[in-house]
Structure 1
Amino acid sequence: MVYSSPIPQLGLGTFGRTGDAGIAAILKALEIGYRHIDTAQSYDTEGPVGEAVRRSGLPRAEVFVTTKVADTNLDKSRFMPSVEKSLETLGFDHVDLLLIHWPSEKDAVPFEDYMLALKEAQERGFTRFIGVSNFPIAHLERTRALLGEGAIATNQVEIHPYLQAPKLRDYARDHGLVLTAYQPLVKGAVVSDPVLAEIAERHGVTPAAVALAFLMAEGHAVIPASSSEANLRANMRAKDVRLSEEEMNAIRALDRGDRRINPEKSPRWDD
């Protein structure tokens, strides 16, 4: 599929990249060429992301930074102060994309309250784009009814070769909504997959690069996380991999609905 989004398609997840080691890993990713950096209030990586961007010497406008409002900050009294605190921690006057990290569990906070607050954050210039994370179709429909078609730039969800989420994928395609795949490499599990390994050998790349290339060819953005320079460089090569339809179908056949991120607060998933 042709990718059409302001979000750079290949980015860097920063969960676990804290402290000086985290700054070093993010800085190395920026040196290699990553220009989409994903963080969140709950990751404790907003500080390292901001510091790495500053040390890189890159103009702020060249680095697309995403952060997420934690589900503990969705209440009206905490939402906007938490966004302002994120900007202070990052050292930025705005982020490029602001997401709701998880919907409020059992609507403990009214849906309209935090979604309208998200829109207000955009109107106040705290973010260029807004989006959501871990939203099933029912929540996306509520979002569309409240904010209008095309109001959000992405839904960031768990997607990888073993969890391809066809119902959610098809809904997103029908509405021109990009899905951003977190944990697209299943914490490295794809490396030992024989189907991906065979395709990787054919293309002279790693199985991880093949998994990322597949997801991008499906029209998704991807945010793999790594602190290894070798892996960062290997993952970046996914941008140049062109898979045949036969190879795409072989990877599609790996889907088995294997969801790894499913805490008690999760909404009712579609796939």
Structure 2
Amino acid sequence: MATKIPDIALNDGNTIPQLGFGVFQISPADTAGSVRTALDVGYRHIDTAEMYGNEAEVGHGVRTAGLAREDVYITSKLNNGAHRPDDARAAFQATLDALRSDYIDLFLIHWPLPTRYDGDFVATWKVLEEFQRDGRARSIGVSNFQVPHLERLAAEADVVPAVNQVEAHPYFTNDEVREYGLNHGIVTQAWSPIAQGAVLGDPTIADIADQVARTPAQVVLRWHVQRGDVIFPKSTNPKRIEENFRIFDFELDDAVMERITQLDRGESGRQGPHPDSFDYLPD
């Protein structure tokens, strides 16, 4: 029997597959083939972004996999250089054109950039609300938003983000942001779910993997699943793509879950930049 990926309900009435395939840092030349491999394995959610430079290749991979567009959930994200409303509108249309689709399942503000654009990510968010109203974005959300950013949206905007995609893994559980999401109906998507590979050699993870006869990556991804996170591991290795998919036929007990959670190092465990200061704009 084929593995059924759980769907998670969003606050807008839509659902999102809990496991996806990420294409961050996958070159355009390798993207279409990797996407086809993932779809052949059984993935039905692809996560890309304008800044990754491979949206067109994601679209090509989906089309050549022989699946109907409505059978594949696609997430993309707004380029950091396109936060001004008219720029955001043009960038969003460019995403649809690159994917060769008249809609996207989920579109996110990639970074809040509070030190850019006079800190006005609310105006950018209101443009995403337009995309949802006209049906070109089925769901909208944010990425790398901290609690104060989310509180500002709650006070000044009309739509609550459906998801918040943030760094989260055993070394940086990001509990404050996750807790806010749980309390306000915002699903957490975890990027860098294995801490860019840093947790895979951890003695605790290795010990648990031996106990449950799974790989360290499968153990960590399963931990995310049981916490309720949406995840999208990435790889160009077909064996690894399949391995990361096989995480729904075992469970971790409460004691094991807690052992992994206790690996949290707080801010020192963060692998990526801090959203309060990250200000990268593409050339």
TM-score bracket, shorter-length normalisation: over 0.9
Cα distance in 2 for partners of 1:190, 1:228 equals 19
What does residue 270 of structure 2 align with? 259
Cα distance in 2 for partners of 1:237, 1:205 equals 10
The answer to whether the 8 Å contact 1:17/1:23 transfers is: no
What does residue 45 of structure 1 align with? 54
Q: CA deviation at 1:153?
A: 1.2
Q: Which runs of no fewer than 5 residues in structure 1 stay unpaired?
A: none
Q: Which of these residues, 127, 137, 141, is aligned with residue 117 of structure 1?
A: 127
The one-letter code matched in structure 1 to 2:43 is Y
1:34-113 mapped onto 2 (5 Å cutoff) = 34-109=43-118, 110-113=120-123
Cα distance in 2 for partners of 1:148, 1:237 equals 39
- In 2 relative to 1, CA 196–60 (structure 1 residues): closer, same or farther, beyond 3 Å? same
What does residue 141 of structure 2 align with? 131
Query: How many matched pairs?
Result: 265
Cα distance in 1 for partners of 2:157, 2:270 equals 29
Q: CA deviation at 1:133?
A: 0.2
Give per-residue Cα distances to partners, 1:4-33, cap 9 Å, x unaligned.
441111111101222332211111011001
1:173-184 mapped onto 2 (5 Å cutoff) = 173-184=182-193
What does residue 4 of structure 2 align with? none
The one-letter code matched in structure 2 to 1:229 is P
Q: Identity across aligned pairs (percent)?
A: 37
What does residue 22 of structure 2 align with? 13
What does residue 38 of structure 2 align with? 29
Q: Does 1:192 align with 2:205?
A: no
Q: Which of these residues, 170, 174, 182, is aligned with residue 161 of structure 1?
A: 170
Aligned Cα root-mean-square deviation (Å): 1.7
The answer to whether the 8 Å contact 1:16/1:22 transfers is: no
The answer to whether the 8 Å contact 2:168/2:192 transfers is: yes
Normalising by structure 1, we get a TM-score of 0.93
Q: CA deviation at 1:176?
A: 2.0
Q: CA deviation at 1:268?
A: 6.4
SS in 2 for 1:10: coil
- In 2 relative to 1, CA 204–3 (structure 1 residues): closer, same or farther, beyond 3 Å? farther
Cα distance in 1 for partners of 2:158, 2:176 equals 21
The answer to whether the 8 Å contact 1:184/1:212 transfers is: yes
What does residue 235 of structure 2 align with? 226
Cα distance in 2 for partners of 1:169, 1:105 equals 20
Q: Which runs of no fewer than 5 residues in structure 2 stay unpaired?
A: 1-6, 279-283
The answer to whether the 8 Å contact 2:32/2:60 transfers is: yes
The one-letter code matched in structure 2 to 1:143 is L
Cα distance in 1 for partners of 2:136, 2:163 equals 17
What does residue 223 of structure 2 align with? 214
Give per-residue Cα distances to partners, 1:147-205, cap 9 Å, x unaligned.
346x3210000001100011112111111211100110122222212211221222222
The answer to whether the 8 Å contact 2:143/2:166 transfers is: yes
Q: Does 1:246 align with 2:255?
A: yes
The one-letter code matched in structure 2 to 1:261 is G
Cα distance in 2 for partners of 1:146, 1:63 equals 33
The answer to whether the 8 Å contact 1:209/1:234 transfers is: yes
Normalising by structure 2, we get a TM-score of 0.89
The one-letter code matched in structure 2 to 1:214 is W
Q: CA deviation at 1:112?
A: 2.7
Cα distance in 2 for partners of 1:142, 1:115 equals 11
What does residue 154 of structure 2 align with? 144
SS in 2 for 1:173: helix
